[in-house]
Structure 1
Amino acid sequence: MTPMTHLAKGANAPVPTAPLRIAVGRQQAPGVPAVEASAVLLDATGTVRGDADIVFHGQPAHPSGTVRHVGTGEGSGQLAEWLELDLPRIEPAVQRVLVAGSCDDGTFGQVPGLYAQVTATDGTILTHYDITDATSETAFVLGEFYRRDGAWKFRAVGQGYDSGLAGLATDFGVVVAEAPMATPPLPATAAVTPPASGPAALHGVGKSGAVPGGATAPPTAKPVPGAVPGSVPLPAPAVASPVLPGAGVPVPHAVPGAVPVAVPEQQTSPITAPAAAPGTAPSWGAGLFHFEPLVFSGKGEKTVTVALPFPQDSAPVILEARVGRQYNFLAVQIVGRSTDVFCNDLPDHYGRALLNPPRKGGPLKLRVRHSGTWELTVLPLTTALPIGPGTIQGSGREIFVHTGTAADLEVRAKDPHSGWFQLNQYQGDTPDDLRRPTEQLVHAWNGRRVKEKVHIPDGPLFLAIDKSRHHWELTLEPLPLA
């Protein structure tokens, strides 16, 4: 019999490539908040592909049949929700499966004996992870299954979110339906969908926004083989909407290519950067869309039109965001798509993200949501921050261009809120190739600090810190020529 592996936070262990069951459990006691388990399927970029990639009691099976929510069980003073994964049959496009939990009537610090446990179908316990450091969180990624060298491993993650299931979901490319804001009043053209219950209010990337599972009731739970007997369904928790912060004024930030904003009495958070490494101009440089920067500003919720004649299959452009000093959460969505350009905190009230124009070309509309004042600047991709030998420092999301030779890149980052950090590489022969990352260089999200060294090939290429609340430092060291 395979011995059980007790995992500490951040540790991992191999699991057999076989059908497995996962329990999200706790001690059973009066007045303890209910915990709902869910599974989230992610592709190589760390995002969901659509609504169906979220599995929970209201949407209990993935279309592939490889991931299922199979009910709740209780016994011996324990209560657990169970998931099933058929690892041999999971689609190759799925690289990770998160095991998450949420509770709406309390915090995880009030949940005694919280754990995630992986078992074989015969009931043999393979891994067990006790979460002992929960406090004010209302959503948790307890663990994840991930592919490595053709096999599967399970990692004890223990990443909590005070912002509830909505905060967790937005980190993985999920759009959350929100209730209307009390102030400021919404424009007549803006439509707001009230939240549904539980993960049903989450919409996956690339979907129309239909609520998965609709308003169906939780399935009747049945005893799970290998689980404790006497299964009963748990109530579905409600989704907590992201906090849309209040008023403020734009904050300037020293970035090459940005349009300066003259605002008195501001604190700045400048990026310090070395000169770009010598190298050839990008082979697709002539094919990039060049234009004068466009600046939009407003307060609260507003829809703006980026009236640029984008060519067909255009490369991304850069969307630079600045928000007020008091609050730093910003949501920017392309109208007609379920993808968000921004849906996160800006640690120094500033950030830059890649924005993909419509494939058919032409203008696009952006829906902006922020309770305070904000400013967006649309910039050509040629204004990416040059990165060359030496060290560059900054915070949050940023876009870089590397035109030099192959190099080692040392990445250091820290986030006082234990968020996660993702650095992607974009490279190709045509502008269209730059619309999706070619490689995920760094993905770290179960601790406050990042310290990794990665290899980047000869330029030209772009690097994007796509998901981060971190303050970071990048040091590029060119490799010696052979």
Structure 2
Amino acid sequence: MTHIAKGANVPVPAAPLRIAVGRHRVPGVPVVDAAALLLDPGGVVRGDADIVFHGLPAHPSGAVRHLGSGEGGGQLAEWLEVDLPQVEPAVQRVLVVGSCEGGVFGQVPGLCAQVVAADGAVLAHYDVTDASSETAFVLGEFYRREGGWKFRAVGQGYDSGLAGLATDFGVVVADAAAPMAPPRPGTVVPPDSVPLTPAASGPAAPPTSVPVPLRGVSKTASAPVPSAHAPASASMFVPSLSKPAAPASFSPVSGLPIAPSPFQGPGFLDFEPIHFSGKSGKTVTVDLPFPPGSAPVILEARVEEYQFLHVEIPGRSDDVFCTDLPDYYSRALLVPPRKGGPLKLKVGHSGTWALTVLPLSAARPITTGTVQGSGREVFLHTGPAAQLKVRATDRHNGWFQLNHHQGDAPADLRRPAEELVHAWNGRRVKEKVRLPEGPLLLVIDKSRHHWELTLDPLPVGR
């Protein structure tokens, strides 16, 4: 099984696949509904039939269906099915989205997306670790690439709910205050305009299929093995058997895992993600109350096409981004002005782009095991000294640089990074490096590479 980080992708077979939008079964948390959007080359739906959810459970082509929900092993899941060979040529992408009722996604424990083959093998597993105030999420997408298909972990949230998400993909959202009326021909009806909680008979099912157990979920040696007498329904969706456990504390209110963060106190900001977007060049202002000597924050960049992106802070000689983004996504450290105050970013790009400013607590935790991805990324290591195996390849002759910033004070993190791995001209990276005891930020500063990082305990005697 392949665990993928936000922005990463994996090839998938052109075959019928099932996708679970899953979460832990915890009483009192918001309800999560899953849907699929079929997008044309322009990135929009062509009509109401291109939105598949439990109110409209089957696409006319038969390529995408909503199968209903399942539970077992302490997990709940909404299941979709995508028969990739049956997807019409006019459809370039199939989005897997979720909406949240009665709360926000930050209250949903264990939110994830899992792609499963017909034989039960888990092809990709993506954990959403940075949800907060969003009420709708693009969890992932299937997209065409060089005659085949790939699945990408997107992780794009919307505070404006399913209506806001749908509007971005060409759905005409009617005025919520207007009386309900039959849609005009050609009008796309968003899923949240149809009741998502039908009568007590349960969710609508597609005419030719019902949810069935998917057995054979792969497991790692560090994960518990299910007992032989477990009921069959327990194997419908058990992502906890497919990933190593990570230490976490639990909120007594919601049961949501809370990762301890060393980045608290003076000089560290805790804020909701700030989003910017545009087409071609633009200057934006990050209007946060950065204190003098503030710790870095994280800047996430996305572009629609494989094009050069330049993001700079006017007056500085070093750039935040100055590269092509592999698979259109990267995250970098953004160091605020030493004197504090707002921060200007000058963006240069020939297409559509989006930037998101995140607090440093959004750094991705890295624990024992393997993570994969591409482009630049920011990780947080809080454990003891360990060995990191680094594998990276780039057929485009790009650079790869892995650095670390050690410490838990703003002054520590503002200092120049210490280099761990450096490669150029597309050289294949295959190295082992020693990580000191955390906390430290592990930063992929330069990369168009596809990379794989494996963290292991240090050998005895080291």
TM class, shorter-chain normalised? Answer: 0.3 to 0.5
TM-score between both structures, scaled by the size of structure 2: 0.47
